[in-house]
Amino acid sequence: MDHRRSTRTAAAVAAGLLAATTALVGAGTAGADPRDDVKVPTAVGYGGAISTVDPEASRVGLDVLRKGGNAVDAAVAAAAALGVTEPYSAGVGGGGYFVYYDAASGEVHTIDGRETAPADMPRDAFIDPATGAPYPFTPDLVTSGVSVGTPGTPATWETALDEWGTYSLKKALKPATQLARRGFVVDRTFHDQTASNAERFAAFPATAELFLPGGEPPVVGSVFRNRDLAATYDLLAKHGTDAFYGGPLAADMVHAVQDPHTDPSTDLPVPPGYLALDDLAGYEALLQDPTVSDYRDYDVYGMAPSSSGGSTVGEALNILETFDLPGMDDAAYLHHYLEASALAFADRGAYVGDPAFVDVPLGTLLSDDFAAERACLLDPAAAAPKPVTPGDVDADDAACGETIAPADSDTENVSTTNLTVVDGDGNVVEYTLTIEQTGGSGMVVPGRGFLLNNELTDFSTVWRADDPNRIEPGKRPRSSMSPTIVLRDGEPVLALGSPGGSTIITTVLQTLTNHLDRGMPIGEALAAPRAAQRNTASVTAEPEFIEAYGPALKAYGHTLVPSGDQFTSAAEIGAATAVQIRDDGLLTAVSEPRRRGGGAAMVVEPARP
């Protein structure tokens, strides 16, 4: 059966926000001004809901819902707005994964809008010819043309609207275009992300001109406009994505990648890349089946490869299903969560890559038999030495302990953004989109107002024939993005997702188990301190997590180290969004109260407190 089909060719043709648990955070610059900088982490009500990391983007999506647009229309409109206000996390220069629950049919669909490797990309692309060794990952490899994959985001938007939306691309892009022209208020997060990227951005005159006006990051409270991006959106509105995957804009992207225009003062090597006009012209967003795992009373739908999100979250849940998580104390629960995650990450490393190039044993990875084989290696009393070895998918017989040689483990960096939308008809969108690192490749396409991704750094740096994530022309690098929709008895009850590189998987897993097994209300489940065990010697954890659970988990043998990211200097994991859907139609939209400066949840008709 063909689980994937391409759609681009077809597509080319064609305030009263206050709710129960709220805190208001804002620079207070608005007044009579239309700019929206009030952040509300939780909103409860009816008729539709949206959660993103940004109030302007959530407002754009909410307005679409209020005007009768569906969840897909609102998701695309909000994503385009995030391209304006969160340009270091996502935009038309990147890719992502779109999961959609269709209320009319009860089916879950997905779009793989992942970037692809250019046809001319050699297997040793990440090796510095001067030294014969890999380029240092950050900032050298990340800040390059060689890391730029063929963007998938415009094709994703067009495909989603074409398949399930009611808006044209033109209509969906309009609010974001207006937002780019009138500008948004710079907050501390935007300022700090710019400052952390200042060296990289200064390496490219086009980037410095846009994001370092006068040589400095934009001041907190000032208004940031992006007229070039507005013009790019206008171009897409007028001509569709053909104007992105061909024509002068495509030529500009190719030129930026193949011959990066750098400032003479930069010390960064900025190796040129391979993106060519043919790569852009041939790009296809893929419609494909979701992954599904039955977990206790629920069916958990996620993203199939090229993302490892659905298979890894699903496998870890299947392992955890064999234990009584609700009956455990906090430390025992977290120990099981960390160990199940390590086991699933071992299998992710060994088996998951782009299925167009690699034979991924997805059915086995998501089977209860395989989970049982893995679960029997989980010692309820002690942490296993890491890395744990992958399971043997060829011995899928529920026998304990059959493993194969270990694969490399990885610890990707953090960026990306995520949004959740539910409309009044019960359609649900969970969408994670990214340009990889915060600030992507650092390269703005001159005069076009957007950053190009560095997604290809998600490939393994050093080529090995047995590595499912090795570089190959045309291939999608393995992702961790995990947009997830949970159904019970065929009805959606929860949708969630997060940024955070490979910690996306653990954030989604931890939030799910916090809520489904430990009974935390969804806002609490999402806000709770996080830890990520990605089959590495130590567990990456937020300081609050270490403080709360460090001693108890140490007794199990876990070593916890604080999280951190050089491009955001934030000791935090993820920036999730979620919407919970009750039988009676009550929607609870939640975003981060604090991480990444806090998010913005909104509902169409707020419930009376």
**Using rule CB under 6 A, residue 540 touches ligand GLU:** no
**Residues 473-532 within binding reach of ligand GLU (CB under 6 A):** 479-481, 499-501, 504
**Residues 435-454 within binding reach of ligand GLU (CB under 6 A):** 436
The candidate with the shortest Cα–Cα distance to 75, out of 447, 431, 512, 604, is 431
Q: How far is the CB of 481 from ligand GLU (least distance, A)?
A: 5
Quick one: 71 or 504, whose CB is closer to ligand GLU?
Answer: 504
Q: How far is the CB of 155 from ligand GLU (least distance, A)?
A: 17
Quick one: 112 or 321, whose CB is closer to ligand GLU?
Answer: 112
Q: Helix or strand or coil: residue 148?
A: coil
Residue choice 232, 434, 510, 588 for contact with ligand GLU (CB under 6 A): 434
Quick one: 153 or 389, whose CB is closer to ligand GLU?
Answer: 153
Q: How far is the CB of 311 from ligand GLU (least distance, A)?
A: 13
| Binding residues with ligand GLU: total (CB under 6 A) | 16
Quick one: 135 or 333, whose CB is closer to ligand GLU?
Answer: 135
**Residues 402-421 within binding reach of ligand GLU (CB under 6 A):** 412-416
Count of C-beta atoms within a 10 Å radius of residue 66 = 15
Is residue 378 classed exposed, middle or buried when 0-12, 13-18 and 19+ CB atoms within 10 A define those classes?
A: buried
- Are 482 and 303 within 8 A, CB to CB? yes
Question: Element (H or E) spanning 531, and its range?
Answer: strand 531-532
**Using rule CB under 6 A, residue 458 touches ligand GLU:** yes
Quick one: 355 or 501, whose CB is closer to ligand GLU?
Answer: 501
Separation of alpha carbons 527 and 111, rounded Å? 28
Quick one: 448 or 596, whose CB is closer to ligand GLU?
Answer: 596
Catalytic residue of the set 416, 420, 513, 568: 416
**Using rule CB under 6 A, residue 86 touches ligand GLU:** no
Count of C-beta atoms within a 10 Å radius of residue 22 = 18
Phi, psi of 234 (to 5 degrees): -60, -40
Quick one: 159 or 307, whose CB is closer to ligand GLU?
Answer: 307
Measure CA 606 to chain center.
Answer: 28
- Are 369 and 560 within 8 A, CB to CB? no
The candidate with the shortest Cα–Cα distance to 308, out of 383, 358, 374, is 358
DSSP state of 104: T
Separation of alpha carbons 598 and 27, rounded Å? 13
Quick one: 153 or 434, whose CB is closer to ligand GLU?
Answer: 434
Q: How far is the CB of 358 from ligand GLU (least distance, A)?
A: 16
DSSP state of 368: H
Q: How far is the CB of 439 from ligand GLU (least distance, A)?
A: 11
**Using rule CB under 6 A, residue 192 touches ligand GLU:** no
What are the residues whose beta carbons fall under 8 Å from the beta carbon of 603, sequence distance 6 or more? Answer: 17, 19, 43, 44, 45, 46, 47, 48, 49, 62, 587, 589
Angle at 590 between CA 545 and CA 511, to 5 degrees: 40
The candidate with the shortest Cα–Cα distance to 200, out of 257, 266, 154, 296, is 266
Q: How far is the CB of 225 from ligand GLU (least distance, A)?
A: 27
**Is 116 a catalytic site residue?**
no
Separation of alpha carbons 348 and 361, rounded Å? 10
Q: How far is the CB of 540 from ligand GLU (least distance, A)?
A: 13
DSSP state of 386: S
Q: Across-strand partners of 496?
A: 484, 578
- Are 474 and 275 within 8 A, CB to CB? no
Q: How far is the CB of 95 from ligand GLU (least distance, A)?
A: 8
**Residues 120-179 within binding reach of ligand GLU (CB under 6 A):** none
Chain contacts with ligand GLU (rule: CB under 6 A)? 412-416, 434, 436, 455, 458, 479-481, 499-501, 504
Catalytic residues: 416
